[in-house]
Structure 1
């Protein structure tokens, strides 16, 4: 076992941006929601520092100004702390209430206490909240404002300071300087519970992991979409579940419309040459296509020799239903036999398509019972979405959980299981708590509620190396980024200390000194990747991969590829329509 000593000159102020200086689009350290515009205001100086300004965005869809800033802070290790005092210096030009709120959480992410004060002031003013720490491990700091449509609404934030038992710790070294604290984290992984793994094992990997057996739903979470190493490990687990645990349904964090043809491909119902079309659809994704195509071909070969088939489908919201449905009917029925469907799809007459399809024995025969029922389910979802005024991303995880239930009922027998492969943020059993307002339940939360102990979740973590990430926002360039060394309170720090390249660890045996794991979401290149979490509550187990490699075949500018690709698909669609009309 390798031992590490904690050493860092980073202060609380620097780590958590308590002076509000990292506020550019790419380097934003605070989580934000609402419709405000923000910037560093060099015309407003307080104590030799420019202020952070939030002001009304008159072009926003919601005509009332909103701003919500949140930051989760992991408390440094202090012997028997009694209370904390957190102050903020601010001023504003608003008439509605501006709130400063603190919430304390214990080791299990359970809220201990919360307190909010009104901080409205026309001049720079310092206001404080004092809370007893009790068994607190973390504090969420929130600034919340709900205003109106007046154009001159502005808020300036100067700095936040933190005191514990009267001692100002804002400028102190964030990490503990005690060697025993570092060793406590290292020893939080017990050698007897570590299950070493090997990447070349596609058939007997799970025999050492008893807890995963007899489960109905296995959630496989990737801590980042941009690691080829995590992808390969997940596909390895899925292969083992298929070969050894009667897994007959693979569900992916992909739009369902994008996977309808993939399912037919792995079932062998369309030619192998169709994989080129699948690749063209996958290219704009940050997840790339090579590892998935390799897995699809493995699954196609497996299904060819298996009596019971394995289906693969996305459970995310449909993105381009008209294009994918057009391609689906064109491939299954051809131009002449599919003429009715192709014309109705172009006009988005989905209810007429559903009515016709329910009586279409030719389509039912070609697809087979289960694929036909899946097709009808998908049409009904498209119709419901067409009638709804709800934003596409609203209720995203709830929608995914409903699809999981429907697909499990359709495809699985009582002794068969499903594997769900998605970002760890969806697989987790707890909703994220970083933001005061944005606490929507996760897919894993719903699945735990529905399937109880028949749902088993695993998060795949990386210790070092590189991964693919957005250079700035999700609509920009994709780059290869290198992981910084993980902090000494994280699962990854303890994982690296083992000296092992690849292992499985059950969360119930984790030591309490581990307070975080890496969570790398899209557009978070400069964010704090190791935020406070209750690892025992979030997942049933973790898989540690020492070195990560990035996705190599991802498009550098996915949004440009997407625009060109779907423009070409629409042109091809119109060409077919013109042909069948003549």
Structure 2
């Protein structure tokens, strides 16, 4: 190779590198899908898909992103006849539009190639500054195995929050169909009033105006006096339904103080119902324990049932023991129930719950119910329960019978709604409706006019308005539905942390300690960390209509984004900030198959059958 040719080759290489760097810098939102690293991917994902840049083909001068299914674990009994898991596609981004585009339109063009998919939608959602849903637009893509360009448009009247996403799922395959589904993504173009979205939405950082508002906030330590009403301190004593929304799951610090607020509300504000983001069957067992209807030692099995939950077990057990003691001396018992619609089939808490009411006199009836629950034949159990209401009320009482029927109906609805990949996909996306529906049912049946309820969930479920970056495209939160139902009787307090550790999900059968990464400089937690303040409460009303960034971690830290943008004044009444989070329990493993519970159920059924 000549010296001149070698020099030209180096110059061309440098030019390509510089061009690529410039190209990546210009594509601020990764709309060309050129990056899959966590720092630059930009897209929110409800479930992390398997993906890579496909360097075997070039589309319009660049390599496309390909999304493909995860391989099935060959050691699992569920792998028979299956090679791959279905693809559950959900990519979305949210943009905050500045003032001045109210009379314009957004157009979104997507170049995509789906293979073996059932349905894919290009979806656009517009919300106003208060995070109220204004309008949506969507286009269904063709299922043909070919590159295609689709367009979706949306008028921007009063729109300040714009969310764009791609949603879909693969086909339900025949048992031995091993041909994998795939989705190739080339690029997306978003234009507002003829301008590229990067020219319209240049930055999401806190503005000077927002920083000024933060400096004028009033802070208060609400935990300094244990013999005073916390709700009265923060001005929520007249609210009937108070949601405690933790921005991160797995913080023992948040668990501890959330339970302190609940205990305080029971003692000073006539709170008579506690609803938690936990499985409904386990909630029934908790309620039996705190109401003194199960043996004192049953707390041990209850803690094993929730070993896979992101609660600090010591704090949870301490609270349940306290509530049981309180109920023994109180004239009105406080109930605690779960509102999570999904059911843990291996733990099968409904079997344990029903066995607590077992009577030898009505052995055939109880045996048929317990056998049906053991085999997960919920609709058969429902028929038996409905046909024998009078006899079951005799042993259970009318309240417990009613709760059992409500929980059974909820489990059947969720089970029926998630039998196929398509049904499961949309059932999971619409999870907040189930949380709301279960909460509404319990509040309507159990709460008297002068009583209060505390609802303890993740903040994304509790917030009063639609979620800007929620489970796209179903943005209606549990809290937004509770506001629509109960109006001003509903209030939200967000609970967040600045730094420290949390307990998080490592895989299906273990939890581990996770050190919280340092928050981006434009998050509220980062601003509060710099003030040096420790535990404190602040109302959200002084924040006005500005959008702020706060932490957001659910069952496990997201692969790329662990915070979200929200109008806090519209979504919550106040925020409690803890500077340092402790993870509490150390890393723990648990038997996901719950073989001990399976053997116990068999022993009980065999004993009943032999007598």
User: TM-score under structure 1 normalisation?
Assistant: 0.78
User: TM-score under structure 2 normalisation?
Assistant: 0.74
1:502-536 per-residue CA deviation (whole Å, 9 max, x = no partner) reads 12222221155552222212343333222222212
Aligned length: 555
Q: Does 1:346 align with 2:374?
A: no
Q: Secondary structure of 2:450's match?
A: coil
Q: Does 1:401 align with 2:433?
A: no
State the partner residue of 2:17.
none
| Counterpart selection for 1:414 from 449, 453, 459 | 449
Q: Does 1:314 align with 2:352?
A: no
| Conservation of the 8 A alpha-carbon contact between 1:429 and 1:445 | yes
State the partner residue of 1:157.
186
Q: Which runs of 5+ in 1 are unaligned?
A: 1-10
Q: Does 1:69 align with 2:82?
A: no
Aligned residue runs from structure 1 range 75-114, under 5 A = 92=113, 107-109=129-131
| Conservation of the 8 A alpha-carbon contact between 1:284 and 1:554 | no
Q: Does 1:568 align with 2:581?
A: no
State the partner residue of 2:14.
none
| Counterpart selection for 1:455 from 470, 474, 490 | 490
Cα pair distance change 1:127/1:370, threshold 3 Å? closer
How far apart are residue 215 of structure 1 and its match?
Answer: 1.4
How far apart are residue 14 of structure 1 and its match?
Answer: 9.0
Q: 2: CA distance between counterparts of 1:258 and 1:323? A: 8
Q: Secondary structure of 2:464's match?
A: coil
| Conservation of the 8 A alpha-carbon contact between 1:83 and 1:165 | no
| Conservation of the 8 A alpha-carbon contact between 1:516 and 1:535 | no
State the partner residue of 1:53.
66
Q: Does 1:40 align with 2:68?
A: no
Q: 2: CA distance between counterparts of 1:131 and 1:552? A: 48
How far apart are residue 258 of structure 1 and its match?
Answer: 0.9
Q: 1: CA distance between counterparts of 2:292 and 2:254? A: 27
How far apart are residue 539 of structure 1 and its match?
Answer: 1.6
Aligned residue runs from structure 1 range 20-419, under 5 A = 20=33, 23=36, 29-32=42-45, 38-44=51-57, 50-54=63-67, 69-74=91-96, 92=113, 107-109=129-131, 139-143=162-166, 155-157=184-186, 184-189=209-214, 191=216, 193-198=218-223, 201=226, 203-210=228-235, 212-317=236-341, 319-320=343-344, 323-333=348-358, 338=363, 340-347=365-372, 348=377, 349-350=380-381, 351-360=383-392, 362-364=394-396, 368-381=397-410, 391=424, 393=428, 395-419=430-454
Cα pair distance change 1:15/1:427, threshold 3 Å? farther
| Conservation of the 8 A alpha-carbon contact between 2:131 and 2:465 | no
State the partner residue of 1:521.
554
| Conservation of the 8 A alpha-carbon contact between 2:392 and 2:401 | no
| Conservation of the 8 A alpha-carbon contact between 1:84 and 1:164 | yes
| Conservation of the 8 A alpha-carbon contact between 2:493 and 2:575 | yes
Q: Secondary structure of 1:43's match?
A: coil
1:172-192 per-residue CA deviation (whole Å, 9 max, x = no partner) reads 99676xxxx666444323656
Superposed CA RMSD in Å reads 4.8
| Counterpart selection for 2:539 from 506, 509, 515 | 506
Cα pair distance change 1:309/1:129, threshold 3 Å? closer
Q: Which runs of 5+ in 2 are unaligned?
A: 1-23, 72-81, 174-178
Aligned residue runs from structure 1 range 536-547, under 5 A = 536-547=569-580
Name which structure has the greater RCO, CA cutoff 8 Å, separation 6+.
1
| Conservation of the 8 A alpha-carbon contact between 2:127 and 2:133 | yes
| Counterpart selection for 2:564 from 531, 535, 541 | 531
Q: 2: CA distance between counterparts of 1:106 and 1:37? A: 34
